[in-house]
Amino acid sequence: MVQSVVALAAEGLKGTSSWWEKLNHSPLWQDRIFHILSGLYAAVAAVALIQLVRIQMRVPEYGWTTQKVFHFLNFLVNGVRSVVFLLRRNLQKVHPEILQHIVLDIPTLAFFTTYALLVLFWAEIYYQVCFICTLPQFAVLTWQ
């Protein structure tokens, strides 16, 4: 009884996966999806660049702050990913294959660097807060 129910369910699901097989093997749909992803990554890169320019225009005297570096790295990561998705078919034809792997891994490494910078920034803030809290107590104790 249970096997017949499972077999009936499996038979019913065969027709539903055919639409996915059509999309999965359609170069037109693949190109559309990758172009949409490219556009979305380009939009995020543009927002990061706009933020970087806004911060630079507002306070140019501070140089490269952690916030500016974070936005620059976000622009770099998302810009490169946008180009990778846009030129996906051309990148698949790159030889030697090691160059293809390098180009595809650069956004991942830059993404890791971006968020490692963010973690270090918060660690620095935490360290400064802890140090500021103990400094007055230390001064009072040493003067007596």
Model confidence, pTM: 0.72
Asked if 84 and 125 count as a contact pair (C-beta separation under 8 A), the reply is: no
Q: How would you write the pLDDT of the chain (144 residues) with one tens digit per residue?
A: 656 767 666 666 666 667 778 888 888 999 999 999 999 999 999 999 999 999 999 988 888 988 999 999 999 999 999 999 999 888 888 889 999 988 889 888 888 998 898 898 888 888 887 776 555 665 566 665
Tokens 């620059």 belong to residue: 72
Q: d(Cα 137, Cα 121) in Å, to the nearest integer?
A: 26
Q: CA quadruple 45, 47, 48, 49: dihedral positive or negative?
A: positive
